[in-house]
Amino acid sequence: MSGLLLLLACSQPFVVEDTGDSSRDSAADSAGPEDTGDVEPLSVCINEFMPHNAASAYDGLGLASDWIELHNPGEVDLDLTGWTLTDDVGETDKHLFDGLGLGAGGYLLLWASGDEAAGPDHVGFSLAQEGGEVGLYDPDGQGAVVQYGTVETDFAVARLTDCCSGAGCLDFTFRGTPGYSNEPIVYETVPMIAPGSIWRYWTGAAVDNSWSLPAYYDDAWLSGTAPLGYGDAQATMIEYGGDPANKWITSWFRLAFDVTGVDQLETMTIDLMRDDGALVYVNGTEVLRSNMPEGEVVATTLASAVTASETGFYTFSLDPGPLFEGTNVVAVELHQASVTTTDAAFDLALSGDRRVQ
């Protein structure tokens, strides 16, 4: 990436200098910023921008216009009327804000489409991919300018943390985060079901269609610690019928568990041990089909193939949408690939991920 090579090769990749404009007082703002006068930092910063957008974001017209993101790191809403934005510090008022505001802690995404008539979030210039500058000025004439070299398509020039300054603050990021924070996202794992949990299970006659729903009455089912199955050293041995040459194809498992803060979860991870195939339901919704054919599945449906690993776990990252706040139920039907199978195994772990910041 030519822009990245420039960043590595130059001691001052984003060269920022005083424009010398006596009517506008420019504060240097770059990877190695320096104040050019006795000025306070602007209350709004140029947080990131993309000089050649091909597919990172689309404006209200469905066009991939260049974009500039401003951020207000303060605790007070700001009226941007009278502020100006430019791609040429020799002409600081190329775009005059009128009627736009930026809330406390908020982000304003502007489209450098060159067509101000397209809407109040469009500016009348576009950014040069081969290098240029972006300047922001407040009504008092105080300004901040970032100059940049060549930037590859769909790479943003971005602050590594919102409105940071100082050496190493600016870098290139693929696609950027237009309209959102640049802060690194930190996740924590929320355990819900541990491997080796105690499950309700049923073998033999097929269960009715409501078996995967939370309200299903499973008190008549047996219970045992996972891994459950037969033929290997399972913690709980389950029945497979009286004929080793004609074993039952399917066995069913259920487990109730509690979740708090479900609206904060961004992903749900299932680690599944299944010999041979399985369907997994959360609160009656099928969320996972592993080593099973498409279409309707009944008690006699064979798994697609003999599993390659009899005791290994397969990991799946899923949408947490089917989870409820409070009590939930995971229901799993385990299918064998053959009536003459020599072993069966099931276990499952479930966790979620939520943002810490």
Phi-psi region of 2 (alpha: psi -120 to 50; beta: other; left: phi over 0): alpha
- Check pLDDT > 90 for residue 201: yes
Domain end residue (candidates: 183, 211, 226): 183
Whether 278 and 154 map to the same domain: the answer is no
Find the CATH number of the domain harbouring 35.
Answer: 2.60.40.1260
- Check pLDDT > 50 for residue 102: yes
pLDDT, residue 355, reads: 79
Q: How many CA atoms lie within 13 A of 135 on its CB side?
A: 31
Edge-to-edge strands, sheet with 142-148: 25-28, 142-148, 132-137, 84-86, 95-96
Whether 34 and 135 map to the same domain: the answer is yes
pLDDT digits (tens, 9 = 90+) for 179-193: 999 988 788 899 999
Whether 226 and 246 map to the same domain: the answer is yes
- Check pLDDT > 60 for residue 171: yes
Q: Which domain holds residue 143?
A: 2-183
Report the mean per-residue pLDDT for the chain.
88
User: Domain total for the chain?
Assistant: 2
Domain end residue (candidates: 165, 183, 201): 183
Domain end residue (candidates: 127, 157, 183): 183
61, 44 Cβ separation under 8 angstroms: no
- Give the Cα separation of 270 and 314 in Å (integer): 8
Whether 205 and 177 map to the same domain: the answer is no
pLDDT digits (tens, 9 = 90+) for 118-148: 999 999 999 999 999 999 999 998 999 999 9
